């Protein structure tokens, strides 16, 4: 089975970008879970790097640059077999954006976060049909453990727009 060069461009570019991150990132996290599209599940894995937090003006909000590389497995759903965009292909995606949280590190709620990223991916499916997607995550992180709910879609800018909704559990490693 031959792998096309088009398919390899995104993972190779993302791998090269991630190679430069450990010097700057404060944490690299390995996340795994299940992603759902129309009640059909698929395995998913992400590697995410979160950088140093910065205060947002004079507020108690903090932001941190956030990048991730992910893989979502395909599904065999018969009704989409002959559709323009199928469901069998696995997707690689690279995303970058910002992670927000509130309070100081001693506040109980500081461990909750919201993340927004823009993603590019390796193919198009019923769930991810644009050349770009928006990634929204809500989660909780404590030291080296995290749990989050993530939704990826194009925000109804292109049809179909089924999106991927996933539950992820992560283990983090400090880089400093």
The pLDDT tens digits along the chain (176 residues) read 445 545 555 555 555 455 545 455 678 999 999 999 988 999 999 999 999 889 999 999 999 999 999 999 998 888 878 888 888 889 999 999 999 999 988 888 999 999 999 999 888 888 888 888 999 999 999 889 999 999 999 988 888 888 999 999 999 988 76
Write down the number of H helices and E strands in the chain.
1, 9
Q: Are 50 and 63 in contact (CB under 8 A)?
A: no
Alpha carbon of residue 49 to chain centroid: 11
- pLDDT at residue number 6: 53
Say what the pLDDT of residue 18 is. Answer: 53
Considering the segment(s) 5-174 as one domain, its CATH architecture is Beta Barrel (2.40)
Handedness of CA 77, 78, 82, 83 (dihedral sign): negative
């Amino acid at each position: 089975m031959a792998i096309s060069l088009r398919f390899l461009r995104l993972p190779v570019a993302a791998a090269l970008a991630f190679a430069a991150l450990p010097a700057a990132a404060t944490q690299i996290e390995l996340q795994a879970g299940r992603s759902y599209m129309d009640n059909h599940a698929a395995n998913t894995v992400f590697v995410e790097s979160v950088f140093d937090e910065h205060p947002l003006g004079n507020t108690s909000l903090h932001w941190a640059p956030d990048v991730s590389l992910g893989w979502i497995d395909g599904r065999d759903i018969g009704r989409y077999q002959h559709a323009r965009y199928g469901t069998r292909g696995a997707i690689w995606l690279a995303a970058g954006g910002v992670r927000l949280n509130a309070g100081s590190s001693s506040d109980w709620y500081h461990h909750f976060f919201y993340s927004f990223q823009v993603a590019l991916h390796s193919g198009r499916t019923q769930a991810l049909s644009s050349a770009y997607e928006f990634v929204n995550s809500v989660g909780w992180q404590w030291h080296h453990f995290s749990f989050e709910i993530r939704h990826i879609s194009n925000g109804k800018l292109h049809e179909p727009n089924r999106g991927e909704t996933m539950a992820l559990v992560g283990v983090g490693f400090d880089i400093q």
